[in-house]
Structure 1
C-alpha cells in the first residue's frame, strides 16, 4: 500500500484512522495490494462543516481496477467537537434512512428512482468521525456551484430539483406506511438539530446566524422594512424553531436543499435531515435558488410540478396522494412557510458569500459587514440586489407583516 497525495495541506488527511478506513474500503472491493490518490473533492472552505476528499484506490497489479470514494471528516480539532451532532445526524441518515430508501426503490425501474449515494463506511467515535461514500462523480455527475455564486437557477433546473425532492419526500411516506414501528422511532430521533438551544450554545452558531441576519439587514434602504426586521431579530431563533417544527403532515426532510447538479441530480449532505413539513424544504430551496420575478411568474406552476411528481411516485407503490397529503394542503403549507423563506434568505445569502477566512473565525462573537466585504465586487452587488429583492417581495405580498405578527407571539 502506498499513498499519493495531491492536496495543499496533506496533514488534514494524514491520520492512522483514515488510512485504516481506506484500507478497509479496498479490502471490501477485493483490492489487496493497492495505491491511493487523495485530493479535495470541492474547493477548500466550500464545505463549512467537513473536509471532503476524493480518494481513488488503484490495484497495484492491474491499474484498470480502481474505485473512487468520497471521504468526509470533520474540520479541525476544535470544530470536531462543535459539529459532532451534525456528523452523527448524517451517519444516522445514511444508515437508517437513505439505506431504507434505496431498498424501497429497488422495485422500480432505474429511470423512476432518485439517485442517492451509498454509504460504504462510517465512524462516530469521538475524534475519529468519518463518513465514506460512493463517488457519484465517477458516474458522470458534476458539482455545480451556481447557488454558491448567488446565481438563480433556470426553470428547467428548478423543476428537476422539485421533481426529485417530491420523490424524496414520497419515499418517507412509503417508509412510514411500510414500517410504522421503525419509522415512529426514527422520527423522534430526527427532530431538528440546527436551531435547538443546546446545539446553538455548543457550536456558537447562534451568534453566527444572528450576525449574518443583521449584516443582510444593513444593506436595506427601506427604513420601515429594516426596522421591522430588526425587531424580528430579537426572536430569530424562536421563529426558526417554529417554522421547522412538525405540522399536521410531516416527512423526513433534507433540511438543506440548495446545491444542484446540471444535467441530472442527486441529494447529498444530510447533516440537517429533520422530521418536518415538506414545505420547509420547498421554500428553502426556492428562496435561495430563485428571485421574486421567477417566483411571481412560476410559483403556481412549479408547485404543481412538485405535487404531480409526489403523486406519481406514490402511485408506483399503489398509494393515493390525496389520502395522505392533498395538493391544497401542500399549497397552504407553502404559503404559511413564506416568512421562513424570508428569514432563511437573509441568513444564508450572507453565509454563502462569506469568505473561507471569515468562516474560520466562526467562534468570534461578531462578523462585521465591512470585514466580510473589503472590495465591492460583482457578488457583493448581487448580494445587495438579492436582499433588496426578497424584502421588497415580502413587503408587497404581506409576508413581512405576517412574520412580525408571528414574532409578537414570542414576546
Structure 2
C-alpha cells in the first residue's frame, strides 16, 4: 500500500473493512492493493482523502471522509448525521436502492465509531464533475433547484404512500446536527452578530430606505437580538410541505458535469451532514441568498422558484403515476411561493454569515473549539477582525440582501407569525 504519511493507519483498515462488508472485494478477484492521498487535513468538519483500491480487474476510485477529532459534539453530530443519511435515510427514501437517484453520489459504506469514523464515496472528479463559479448564473441555479425539487419529491411521495412508515423509518432515523447547548449558543451568537452587522451596513448605505423602514428594522433587530431560535423556527417542518432537507444546499456542496456544448448535463449533491426534516425553504433560500447576485434575484426569483416547483411536480407525478395537474392544489407553485415568504429569513440569517465564505473561501468561518475560538469573546473578536477585511462586494451584497427583505412583502406577515398576540 502507498499511503500519505499524514494518514492514520486505521483509515486504510476501516476503508477495506467497509468494502469487504459491502461485498465489493468478495469473490476470486485476486490480491487487494490500495493507495491513499491526503486532500485536506484542516477542513471545517472533516478530513478528506482520495483512495484507489484494486482487486483483480476491479478498481475503485474513492473519496474518503474521516473525522479525526471527536472532542466536540458539534462535529461528531454532523459526521454521525451524514453517516446515517447514507446508511439509512437515503436508502429508505429510495426504496433501498440509492444508486437509482441521479443526484446522489454512490456511497460504498459508512461507519461513525467514535474516533474512527469513515464515509466512502465515489470520486466524482474523475467523472468530470466540478464546482460551479462562486456566483451562480441563471442556468446553474435553475438546474440545481429543479434537481432539488426532484429530491424533495422523494419525501412527498413517501408521505403520500405511507406517512407512518415515512416518519418511523426515515424521519426518526435522522440523527440531526447542532443539537448540544454549546453549539446552539455559539452558532446563535455568530448568526446574530452577522445579521445585525448586515442591518447596520444597510442603514449606512441606504439611509433614506432605513428611515422608511425604521419600524420594521427595529422589529427585525429585536427578533434577532432576543429571539434568534424563534425567528429561525419560521423554517421548521410544517405539513404538508415538510421534507428531508439536504440542510446545507449551497454551491460548495453541488458538483456539475457539462456536455460537449458546454451546457450542464448532470448535478450531484454532496455533504449531507446538516440534513434534517424541515421546510424546503431551508434548502431553497440558502442557495438563492448565498450563491446568487442581487441583480439575478431581482430579475429572476420567480424563475428560480418555478424551476424548483417544476422538479417537484415532474418527479411526484412519475412516482405517484398521476397527471401533473392533479398535484397543483397541494403542491402548486403558489404554495411554494408562500412557503418561501414564510421562511426566507432563514436564508437571510445564513447568508449574513456565509456570504463572505461563498465569495472568498472558508477562512472567515471560525472553527469552534480551536485555539482562537474557545470562548464567546474569542468568537466575537474573530468575527470582528474578519469583518475589517470584508471586500466591497461582500458588504454590498449584505446591504442589498437586507433591502430585499425589507422591500418585499415578507417581513410583516413573518413578524405576525413569530410574535404571539399580547
SS in 2 for 1:355: helix
**Contact 1:258–1:289 at 8 Å: present in 2 too?**
yes
Q: 1:203 and 1:229, CA in 2 relative to 1: closer, same or farther beyond 3 A?
A: closer
Question: 1:4: Cα distance to partner?
Answer: 3.0
Question: 1:92: Cα distance to partner?
Answer: 1.5
1:128 aligns with 2:128: no
1:165 aligns with 2:165: no
Q: 1:407 and 1:195, CA in 2 relative to 1: closer, same or farther beyond 3 A?
A: farther
1:261 aligns with 2:255: yes
* CA distance in structure 2 between the partners assigned to 1:357 and 1:327 by the alignment: 35
Q: 1:388 and 1:175, CA in 2 relative to 1: closer, same or farther beyond 3 A?
A: same
**Corresponding residue for residue 293 of structure 2:** 291
Tell me the C-alpha RMSD between the 2 structures: 3.2
Query: 1:178-231: CA deviations, max 9, x gaps?
Result: 4544312145426794455x3554784333333443444454415746655532
Instruction: Specify every segment of 5 or more residues in structure 1 that has no aligned partner in the other structure, as ranges.
Output: none
Greater mean deviation of Cα atoms: 176-185 or 87-96:
176-185
Question: After superposition, where does 1:116-155 map in structure 2 within 5 Å?
Answer: 116-144=104-132, 146=133, 151-155=134-138
**Corresponding residue for residue 34 of structure 1:** 33
* CA distance in structure 2 between the partners assigned to 1:105 and 1:122 by the alignment: 16
Instruction: Specify every segment of 5 or more residues in structure 2 that has no aligned partner in the other structure, as ranges.
Output: 259-265
**Corresponding residue for residue 221 of structure 2:** 230
Question: 1:293: Cα distance to partner?
Answer: 2.4
Query: 1:88-140: CA deviations, max 9, x gaps?
Result: 211111122322444477898xxxx5321122121122212221122222222
* CA distance in structure 2 between the partners assigned to 1:192 and 1:349 by the alignment: 27
Q: 1:55 and 1:191, CA in 2 relative to 1: closer, same or farther beyond 3 A?
A: closer
**Corresponding residue for residue 90 of structure 1:** 82
**Contact 2:88–2:173 at 8 Å: present in 1 too?**
no
SS in 2 for 1:316: helix
1:300 aligns with 2:296: no
* CA distance in structure 2 between the partners assigned to 1:357 and 1:123 by the alignment: 27
SS in 2 for 1:266: strand
**Corresponding residue for residue 346 of structure 1:** 352
Q: 1:138 and 1:99, CA in 2 relative to 1: closer, same or farther beyond 3 A?
A: farther
User: How many residues matched?
Assistant: 384
Question: After superposition, where does 1:1-400 map in structure 2 within 5 Å?
Answer: 2-5=1-4, 10-11=5-6, 13-16=7-10, 18-24=11-17, 27=20, 28-29=24-25, 30=29, 32-40=31-39, 45=42, 47-58=43-54, 65-79=58-72, 81-103=73-95, 113-144=101-132, 146=133, 151-186=134-169, 188-189=171-172, 193-194=176-177, 196=179, 198=180, 200-201=182-183, 204-220=186-202, 221=204, 222=206, 224=210, 229-231=220-222, 232-259=224-251, 260-262=254-256, 263=258, 264-317=266-319, 318-319=321-322, 320-322=326-328, 324-350=330-356, 352=358, 355=363, 358-359=366-367, 360=370, 361-365=372-376, 366-368=379-381, 369-373=383-387, 375=389, 380-400=391-411
* CA distance in structure 1 between the partners assigned to 2:14 and 2:154 by the alignment: 31
TM-score, scaled relative to structure 1: 0.81
Q: 1:173 and 1:403, CA in 2 relative to 1: closer, same or farther beyond 3 A?
A: closer
TM-score, scaled relative to structure 2: 0.79
SS in 1 for 2:88: helix
Q: 1:106 and 1:37, CA in 2 relative to 1: closer, same or farther beyond 3 A?
A: closer
**Contact 2:146–2:307 at 8 Å: present in 1 too?**
yes
Q: 1:38 and 1:200, CA in 2 relative to 1: closer, same or farther beyond 3 A?
A: same
Question: 1:372: Cα distance to partner?
Answer: 1.6
